[in-house]
Amino acid sequence: MPIAGIYGPDDFGNPVHGHSAMQARSRVSPAERARALPMPSLEWTPEVERVTAHLYERVKNVISPVEWPFMAPYVRAINELKKARGAVILAHNYQTPEIFHCVADIGGDSLQLAVEATKVKSDIIVQCGVHFMAETSKILNPNKTVLIPDSRAGCSLASSITGADVRLLRERFPGVPVVAYVNTSADVKAEVDICCTSSNAVQVVESLQAPTVIFLPDQYLAKYVASQTEVKIIAWKGACEVHERFTGDELRAYREADPSVQIIAHPECPPDVLAEADFTGSTAHMINWVRSKHPKRVVMITECSMADNVQAELPDVEMVRPCNLCPHMKRITLPKILDSLVYLREEVIVDPVIAGKARRSVERMINLKN
Ligand code: SF4
């Protein structure tokens, strides 16, 4: 059914949240310098070539032999420092292949990373993804050190809403339960009843057994959920700046050029895009769909590094890559990951009271029975 209403900060007389001005990346502080390990050599040598050869095998379909000598010294240094620090690296599906396939210990979508974060034994987690993901890891691991290689890696969805907005929505709709997509700040997670990801959004909404649910902040995911359930959905005016740019016309053009092509899309896309897709699903569901169907040619309507990561794994599937990059995800690079491990920076801090409340919303989602 269509969504029952859609709200934004302007509906409460508040200024519309823009992208907050990003602070310059901080310099290495004296405390960080004091706990630093020596910066490893970053020369391309026969030894580096030899010890990284098995990793290059994983990505040779998507990274050229000309590029690898610039990446391999970082890959080797990061993998050695990771061991020295006893750290684990979590990487989202939208990270570039040299990160996703060559230095990450665990890769996946937001739900997979949130679940894996609860099982991590290491005392140090390096989160290769955007800030709300690192916050989620910290919320679930309050006693561990969680690092993000660049704390400016934000998200247009997370910055579209605040905890104060959620309190105003609750005043406007008393008694209506609130579901927050994980793409939200800890402050927002602390105010809601339960979190969800794009993998489990419909299941989470229906688990509340309420006739109406407030679903925030992604208006398009809200519309997708509303199309899959009888529950009445009240939405928020947030959007992913990457998925919002795709259009139905673009998908029709792919199909006209090759009627046999398969098109799979992420539910953060607008409805006219999803109407043209052969399959709609979260990043994890999209990857599983390609693995199981093994199409000859496929267009993945999502952030473009994911197609590279799947291409590295499945070289015989031809990927058409519409390239909508997430500028926030792309802030995470090999040099910054190395920097994180050398200096143990940038540490993610969440107020313990907010973290405690937010943990309840995230754990309630994780503990939902399938
Ligand atoms: S791809 Fe969209 S939802 Fe994901 S981090 Fe980037 S802006 Fe946020």
Q: Average pLDDT, whole number, for the chain?
A: 93
Check pLDDT > 70 for residue 15. Answer: no
Q: What is the pLDDT of residue 3?
A: 77
Q: What is the CA radius of gyration of the chain?
A: 21
Instruction: Please tell me the distance from the alpha carbon of residue 194 to that of residue 239, in angstroms, as a whole number.
Output: 20
- pLDDT confidence tier of residue 16, bands split at 50, 70 and 90: low
| Among protein residues, the one whose CA lies closest to atom 7 of ligand 1 | 155
Looking at this protein, which amino acid is placed at residue 41?
A: S
Check pLDDT > 90 for residue 246. Answer: yes
pTM over 0.75: yes
Is pLDDT larger for residue 295 or for residue 9? 295
Is pLDDT larger for residue 243 or for residue 31? 243
- pLDDT confidence tier of residue 155, bands split at 50, 70 and 90: very high
| Residues 193 and 173 sit within 8 Å (Cβ to Cβ) | no
Identify the DSSP state of 197.
-
Helix (H, G, I), strand (E, B) or coil at 72: helix
Q: What is the pLDDT of residue 27?
A: 80
pLDDT tens digits along 257-287:
999 999 999 999 999 999 999 999 999 999 9
Instruction: Please tell me the distance from the alpha carbon of residue 158 to that of residue 279, in angstroms, as a whole number.
Output: 26
Instruction: Tell me whether the omega of the peptide bond preceding residue 97 falls within 30 degrees of 0, making it cis.
Output: no
| Residues 150 and 331 sit within 8 Å (Cβ to Cβ) | yes
Residue 95 Cβ inside 6 Å of ligand 1? The answer reads: no
Whole-number Å distance, alpha carbon 240 to ligand 1 midpoint, is 5
pLDDT tens digits along 338-362:
999 999 999 999 999 999 999 999 9
DSSP per-residue letters across 267-315: TTS-HHHHTT-SEE--HHHHHHHHHHH--SEEEEESBHHHHHHHHHH-T
| Residues 118 and 136 sit within 8 Å (Cβ to Cβ) | no
Q: What is the pLDDT of residue 217?
A: 97
The ligand 1 atom at the shortest distance from the C-alpha of residue 155 is 8
- pLDDT confidence tier of residue 369, bands split at 50, 70 and 90: low
| Among protein residues, the one whose CA lies closest to atom 2 of ligand 1 | 240
| Region 184-210 average pLDDT | 96
Per DSSP, what are the bridge partners of residue 89?
126
| Among protein residues, the one whose CA lies closest to atom 3 of ligand 1 | 240
| Region 132-148 average pLDDT | 94
For residue 172 the two structure tokens come to 């406007």
Residue 153 Cβ inside 6 Å of ligand 1? The answer reads: no
Residue 156 Cβ inside 6 Å of ligand 1? The answer reads: yes
